[in-house]
């Protein structure tokens, strides 16, 4: 044994506290389905952590080998018993086992080192990269900041998705719901947003937290890999709870995520947090509530299901300058069934958030990806969260697409339509094509501005709909090669000056001259 280890052991022995410490203890009277009934501990508080003395009947050797400390969370304080949920494997708990109060409300240890790591819902690392030392204990449950402690949302979070950044802009401190059926690209929108943050300057780049609730471990593993490959893990924390974990751990996951986010927000930093997804969170909470014998309400959800999500999402905020100016932007995800946004949980969360991005299954199947239904998607913060440059170029798109949607039904009568209507339909088709984007390929906002400016000013005139993407790609490469300063100016100033628009107009002309092959005759 090395000298260092011997010295460490000596130090620990000398420092060991051997004074009389009085603990408040109770006894397990029953355990079933992860819910433990405890007799005694009359001073217990709601949401207090308790420790099950699993080692009580074990020898020292067995106690050391089992290594885990089994915690419980008190969720019911009844007249003659206290009920707690087990935060771990309940099979180790036996009737008559001693339970100790910790006199601490549930909290998670957080430090700067948590960025770049994969943790569970108690903040323990599960990525095999070593232990995490907590700098501060952040309470899992806390009251959201009040009105006077907040400031307005005025800084954009760029998702890198043209359709969102132009028409449904998200600001730092906003809650924007991503809602749609299974397999419509909800997670992709969230992951692309995280990846896109690598284009933000390091000083103002938001720290990202991706919370998975009841997801398949294979899906989480592939997402972590994708983030690593894109270089996004250096500013992202993944909080993973898989489908096989107990419902209390799934219930805690988003609260742990937002507690970690608050640690950074209180330092004046911006945080982006994704909850994937809150539908599974609601189901886990329902399971736990039914086992705790709480009275079921509509669809067997407990009566406080709205409060569960409202108190979670209210913790996302943009703080005032006096409190550091930090923010938490939340992207909760809800899965609908058959596109039904009027179901119980979806309507609850829609009413809590500051807008929704609705992903439609039909549009997805038609090849329109991201499958945004622009008609019913909205951002209640709106252009207050857009840069001046983006505001200038995005105004026309919504109108174009709205007109296109109205005229789409008449497309089958193409030969009978007047020229103006045909032009509107053609323009709508081209804009729709332009807004399509490949998965995990977010576009930095300065490129989006250049692309949309060009589209608004006729660069797509004379181009076949099928050539729009090739045209956009070629044009952006052209600008990168011949006028790189355009990107730099837009990135720095975030506005379009007259000189800049003049430069872009000339660039468009030059591009059209040198890329005539893209302007083939349109398909009949």
| C-alpha torsion angle, residues 212, 330, 347, 360 (rounded to 10) | -70
Give min distance, CB of 83 to other proteins, in A: 15
Closer residue to other proteins (CB): 55 or 266: 55
Q: Contacting other proteins (CB under 8 A), which of 4, 21, 516, 524? A: 21
Q: Map the footprint of other proteins across residues 37-96, applying CB under 8 A.
A: 39-42, 55, 57-60, 63-64, 79-80
- Which residues are catalytic, by number? 380
CA 335 to CA 337: how far, in whole Å? Answer: 7
Q: How far apart are the first and last CA of the chain?
A: 83
Q: Which stretch binds other proteins (CB under 8 A): 5-13, 161-169, 174-182, 210-218?
A: 5-13
Contact flag: residue 8 with other proteins (CB under 8 A): yes
CA 507 to CA 489: how far, in whole Å? Answer: 15
Q: Which of 10, 39, 8 is nearest to 24 (CA)?
A: 39
Closer residue to other proteins (CB): 15 or 201: 15
Closer residue to other proteins (CB): 6 or 221: 6
Half-sphere exposure of 176 (CA within 13 A, CB side): 29
Give min distance, CB of 42 to other proteins, in A: 7
Contact flag: residue 492 with other proteins (CB under 8 A): no
Q: Contacting other proteins (CB under 8 A), which of 1, 131, 148, 516? A: 131
Give the tokens for residue 58.
């074990």
Q: Which residues pair with 270 in a beta bridge?
A: 327
Contact flag: residue 1 with other proteins (CB under 8 A): no
Q: Contacting other proteins (CB under 8 A), which of 20, 91, 415, 521? A: 20
Q: Contacting other proteins (CB under 8 A), which of 1, 4, 16, 399? A: 16
Closer residue to other proteins (CB): 64 or 376: 64
Contact flag: residue 22 with other proteins (CB under 8 A): yes
Give min distance, CB of 63 to other proteins, in A: 6
Closer residue to other proteins (CB): 64 or 300: 64
Give the tokens for residue 417.
């339509």
Query: Residue 104: phi, psi to the nearest 5?
Result: -125, 135
| C-alpha torsion angle, residues 398, 400, 404, 405 (rounded to 10) | 10
Closer residue to other proteins (CB): 77 or 378: 77
Give min distance, CB of 5 to other proteins, in A: 8
Q: Which of 440, 449, 492, 445 is nearest to 194 (CA)?
A: 440
The H-assigned helical ranges of 161-246 are 162-167, 186-196, 217-229
CA 173 to CA 445: how far, in whole Å? Answer: 19
Give min distance, CB of 252 to other proteins, in A: 22
Q: Map the footprint of other proteins across residues 134-153, applying CB under 8 A.
A: none
Residues with Cβ within 8 Å of 247's Cβ and at least 6 positions away in sequence, in order, are 34, 85, 284, 285, 287, 288, 291
Give min distance, CB of 300 to other proteins, in A: 24
Give min distance, CB of 119 to other proteins, in A: 16
Give the tokens for residue 406.
């109205």
Q: Contacting other proteins (CB under 8 A), which of 50, 52, 82, 98? A: 98
Give the tokens for residue 66.
């089992």
Is 209 in contact with 89 (CB distance < 8 Å)? no
Residues that contact other proteins, how many (by CB under 8 A): 30
Q: Which residues pair with 52 in a beta bridge?
A: 70, 99
Closer residue to other proteins (CB): 1 or 143: 1
Q: Which stretch binds other proteins (CB under 8 A): 16-24, 185-193, 227-235, 430-438?
A: 16-24
* 3-state SS assignment for residue 222: helix
Query: Residue 436: phi, psi to the nearest 5?
Result: -70, 145
Please give the residue ranges that form the binding site for other proteins (CB under 8 A). Answer: 8-9, 12-13, 16, 18, 20-26, 29, 39-42, 55, 57-60, 63-64, 79-80, 98, 100, 131
């Amino acid at each position: 044994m090395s000298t260092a280890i011997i010295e460490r052991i000596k130090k620990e022995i000398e420092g060991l506290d051997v004074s009389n410490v009085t603990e408040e203890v109770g006894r397990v009277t029953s355990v079933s389905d992860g819910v433990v009934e405890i007799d005694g501990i009359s001073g217990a508080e709601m949401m207090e952590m308790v420790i099950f003395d699993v080692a009580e009947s074990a020898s020292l050797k067995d106690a050391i080998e089992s290594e885990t400390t089994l915690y419980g969370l008190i969720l019911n304080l009844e007249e003659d018993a206290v009920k707690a949920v087990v935060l771990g494997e309940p099979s180790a708990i036996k009737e008559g086992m001693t339970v100790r109060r910790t006199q601490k409300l549930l909290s998670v240890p957080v430090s700067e080192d948590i960025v770049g790591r994969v943790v569970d819902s108690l903040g323990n690392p599960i990525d095999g990269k070593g232990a995490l030392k907590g700098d501060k204990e952040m309470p899992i449950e806390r009251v959201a900041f009040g009105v006077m402690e907040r400031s307005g949302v005025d800084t954009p979070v760029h998702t890198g998705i043209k359709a969102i950044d132009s028409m449904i802009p998200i600001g730092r401190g906003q809650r924007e719901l991503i809602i749609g059926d299974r397999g419509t690209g909800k997670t992709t929108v969230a992951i692309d947003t995280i990846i896109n943050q690598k284009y933000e300057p390091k000083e103002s780049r938001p720290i990202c937290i991706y919370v998975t609730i009841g997801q398949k471990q294979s899906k989480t593993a592939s997402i972590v890999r994708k983030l690593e490959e894109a270089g996004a893990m250096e500013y992202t924390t993944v909080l993973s709870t898989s489908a096989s974990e107990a419902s209390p751990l799934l219930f805690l996951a988003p609260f742990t995520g937002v507690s970690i986010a608050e640690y950074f927000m209180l330092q004046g930093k911006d945080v982006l947090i994704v909850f994937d997804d809150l539908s599974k969170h609601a189901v886990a909470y329902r399971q736990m509530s039914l086992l705790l014998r709480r009275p079921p309400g509509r669809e067997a959800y407990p009566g406080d299901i709205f409060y569960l999500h409202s108190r979670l999402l209210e913790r996302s905020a943009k703080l005032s300058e006096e409190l550091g100016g930090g923010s938490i932007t939340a992207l909760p995800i809800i899965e609908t069934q058959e596109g039904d946004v009027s179901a119980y949980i979806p309507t609850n969360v829609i009413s809590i958030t500051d807008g929704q991005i609705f992903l439609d299954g039909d549009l997805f199947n038609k090849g329109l990806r991201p499958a945004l239904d622009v008609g019913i998607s909205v951002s209640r913060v709106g252009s207050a969260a857009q840069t001046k440059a983006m505001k200038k170029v995005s105004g026309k798109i919504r109108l174009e697409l709205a007109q296109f949607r109205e005229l789409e039904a008449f497309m089958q009568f193409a030969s009978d339509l007047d020229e103006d209507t045909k032009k509107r339909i053609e323009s709508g088709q081209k804009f729709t094509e332009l807004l399509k984007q490949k998965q995990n390929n977010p576009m930095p906002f300065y490129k989006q501005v250049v692309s949309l400016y060009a589209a608004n000013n006729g660069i797509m005139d004379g181009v076949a709909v099928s050539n729009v993407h090739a045209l956009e790609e070629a044009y952006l490469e052209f600008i990168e090669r011949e006028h790189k300063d355009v990107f730099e100016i837009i990135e720095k100033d975030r506005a379009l000056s007259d000189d800049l628009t003049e430069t872009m107009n000339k660039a468009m002309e030059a591009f059209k001259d040198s890329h005539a092959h893209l302007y083939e005759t349109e398909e009949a």
